[in-house]
Structure 1
Amino acid sequence: MLDGCPHCRGSVLVDEVLVDEHDLFSLSISLGGTIGGRDDVKSLLPLLLERMVTSMELDPGVVLGMLPREEWRTWPEAEQESVDSYLDAVWRSLLAAYPSNVGSFVDTVTFLVAVSTAESVDRFLDVWDDTLGSAADRHLADTVNGLNFAARGPRTLDAWLRRATVRDRLYEAFERDHDSNWADDLAQAYDLL
């Protein structure tokens, strides 16, 4: 049970929220704000992180957006490492298969935008540089083809995409997969860059 906000819940002195009876999406929006505190966020975070990869019921930006608000880089090192390991595993899983089959992380941009609320995306882009193969390249083409370069997004992603090595990678992917159904996507992304 979580303590609810007395201001939001009326004149009741103590209002409790039963986690297993609550919609997790609504709970994730309120958690740490009008419902519960830092300890509640930390205790529910494993459930929220699990649900983000097993279903599409949660918004990754909302869940990961809790981390900086709760000053997660001040948490014990083991807890920080757990979050980092989770993010690394999700990212590698996302890049390993096309289309994405990682729950709420429907594509690379969803992941990177959500992570950018809590962390620099540099290390994930480094992993992408090192992850070779059609799945990672198709994600790259989708990212370029779907990205509005004028919109506000992770600046690091924009700069990373504009590197010559990324453009060269798309060209090499097109050369490798020119007979595939997705060759046009690779060519379009190359042309956009």
Structure 2
Amino acid sequence: MENELTAALAGVRDAFARYPRRAVLDGCPHCEGSVLVDEHDLFSLTISLGNTVGGRVDVKALLPVLLERLLGSDELEPVIVLGKLRYEEWRTWPRVEQEAIDAYLDVVWRALLADHPSRLGSFTDPTDFLDAAHAAGERVERFLDVWDATLTPPADRHLAELVSRLNFTSQKPSALGDWLRREATRDRLHRAWERDYDSQWADDLARAYDLLRH
């Protein structure tokens, strides 16, 4: 996965290379005025970037470093960073830019499912990623389909954990909740238990299966 992550980041850099990065961004004169871009404090910048500081071109110029920093540190908030995409209507951007972001999201998602426990920089686990992807305006079904096709012990363990945290009394519509409650999810957990019945996480699989039975 390391090579795929590297390639995805390179694709983002290439797609947005034509947008020059400015050392100082124009800010709202009533809020904070001009803002110095300091890569050592990107978190503070992401809160106002594209809103009261800088514009769409600045978001695009900084996107490669922000997406790379999401994977290399825990200093940024994925929901804030990826939320910039929806705010800036990224699905209206040139196709090459959309494809680079899509490739990034896809490889990060697969990398998170590939290990358990998983942490990839600022992404702490699969649910953290799904929240951020939703903030970007993406339908979670896109990533749940990949989870369905990833029939590995780490992906199954993530699934069992998520079921154990599911609020079964909630009546609020949820694509993720509906996906978890499917008979297919229950059957998958049973098959995972049969495969890993002598593992240290077998009880977790069985417990999640029992939750979905009732």
Amino acid at match of 2:191: E
TM-score normalised over the length of structure 2 = 0.82
**Deviation string for 1:124-182 (max 9, x for gaps)?**
11111111110100111111112335569882111111111111111111111111111
The aligned counterpart of 1:58 is 76
TM-score normalised over the length of structure 1 = 0.91
Structure 1, unmatched stretches of 5+, are 10-14
Q: RMSD of the TM alignment (CA)?
A: 1.8
Label 1:125 to 1:63 Cα distance change in 2 as closer, same or farther (>3 A): same
The aligned counterpart of 1:4 is 27
Match of 1:106 among 108, 111, 124: 124
Label 1:95 to 1:180 Cα distance change in 2 as closer, same or farther (>3 A): same
8 Å contact from structure 1 (residues 53, 104) kept in 2: yes
Say which is worse superposed, 62-71 or 15-24, in terms of deviation.
Answer: 15-24
The aligned counterpart of 2:167 is 148
8 Å contact from structure 2 (residues 113, 158) kept in 1: yes
Match of 2:59 among 41, 48, 51: 41
Q: 2:51 aligns to what SS in structure 1?
A: coil
| Count of matched residue positions in the alignment of Structure 1 and Structure 2 | 188
Distance 1:153 1:28 in 2: 30
Structure 2, unmatched stretches of 5+, are 1-23
Label 1:108 to 1:119 Cα distance change in 2 as closer, same or farther (>3 A): same
Distance 1:88 1:152 in 2: 30
Label 1:191 to 1:104 Cα distance change in 2 as closer, same or farther (>3 A): same
Amino acid at match of 2:209: Y
Distance 2:127 2:108 in 1: 13
Q: 1:168 aligns to what SS in structure 2?
A: helix
**Deviation string for 1:89-136 (max 9, x for gaps)?**
000000011111311111111111111122111111111111111010
Label 1:21 to 1:126 Cα distance change in 2 as closer, same or farther (>3 A): closer
Q: 2:38 aligns to what SS in structure 1?
A: helix
Percent of residue pairs bearing the same amino acid type: 64
1:190 is aligned to 2:193: no
